[in-house]
Amino acid sequence: MEPKKTILVIEDEPHIILGLKDALEFEGFRVVSASRGKDGIAQARAERPHVVLLDLMLPDLNGYQVCEELRRLDAFMPIIMLTARSQESDKIRGLDAGADDYVTKPFSVGELIARIRALFRRISRPSETLTFKVGDATVNVTAHTVERAGTTDSLSFYEVELLRFLHERLGQPVSRDEILNKVWGLEASPTNRTIDNYVVKLRRKVEAQPDRPEHILTVYGYGYKLVP
């Protein structure tokens, strides 16, 4: 029997921890938890979880600080940030700190579990393309890095998946709905700005002039396309 995958929940609200623990254990996961940021970092170091669910508001460190520490500990550990804030700037700051994704409270536990399962399916999928070019940037799928102009940046799990999916459709417009479904395993919704936030981050890493992109192009009213 395959060992259970471990999920670390770093959250200071006991009822949320209990609810997530019950739901995730029912789905077959092993759950460990911490109510403080420093304890969560220690748990991550000891447990090496397969996924971290990280609350933004903690009593000692904030979620951004914890996320940065977790990234220093493990560059590839998937981190999903839980936040009660709805402002785009807070979400983008979380992604900049190293989070792979975020959900806004109150959230659907079913949707969260669907995201986790979709993430595991993609992690277990063999990589057909180990490296590819985006303009003068080289994306390394295996190492989760992008190199351009002598500088190497790390890529999160979803950054790699988004770039790889756009590369598979090179030169073709791809709708936001299809990207959400294929990369995140989510149904599209009018308020879901996840893709747009990721594109902003990726342009900073692969474009010579992120505000005047030449490779990750917006197809207005539809989605995005990647051009050579």
Nearest in space to 157 (alpha carbons), one of 181, 110, 124: 124
Q: Judge whether residue 224 has pLDDT over 70.
A: yes
Q: Considering 91, 124, 157, which residue would you say is the last residue of a domain?
A: 124
The CATH number of residue 56's host domain is: 3.40.50.2300
Domain that holds residue 61: 6-124
- Asked if residue 125 has pLDDT above 80, the reply is no
User: Do residues 138 and 149 lie in contact, with contact meaning Cβ atoms separated by under 8 Å?
Assistant: no
Per-residue pLDDT at 139: 92
How many beta carbons lie within 10 A of that of residue 76, not counting itself? 14
pLDDT at position 3: 80
Same domain, 135 and 68: no
Same domain, 204 and 144: yes
pTM of the model: 0.70
Look-up of token digits 């807070």: 90
Same domain? 170 vs 78: no
203 contacts 209 by C-beta, under 8 angstroms: no
Has residue 1 been placed in a domain? no
Average pLDDT value for residue range 23-31: 93
The candidate with the shortest Cα–Cα distance to 15, out of 64, 55, 44, is 55
d(CA 44, CA 171) in angstroms, rounded, equals 40
pLDDT confidence bin for 199, thresholds 50/70/90: very high
Q: What is the mean pLDDT of the chain?
A: 86
Q: Can you give the pLDDT at residue 25?
A: 94
Predicted confidence at residue 128, as pLDDT, reads 54
Q: What is the model's pLDDT at position 7?
A: 96
119 with 206, same domain: the answer is no
159 domain residue, yes or no: yes
Paired tokens of 149: 């102009």
Residue 227's pLDDT is what? 94
pLDDT value of position 158 = 84
Task: List, as one string, the DSSP characters of 115-178.
Answer: HHHHHHHHHHS--S-SEEEETTEEEETTTTEEEETTEEEE--HHHHHHHHHHHHTTTS-EEHHH
- Residue 199's identity, in one-letter code, is V
- Name the more confident of 49 and 193: 49
Q: Are residues 192 and 219 in the same domain?
A: yes
Take residue 34 and report the two structure tokens written for it: 């911490």
The most confident of 67-71, 138-142, 157-161, 213-217, by mean pLDDT:
213-217
Number of structural domains (the chain) is: 2
Are both 218 and 169 inside the same structural domain? yes
Q: Whole-angstrom Cα distance, residue 92 to residue 94?
A: 5
Cα 108 to Cα 126: distance, rounded to the nearest angstrom: 30
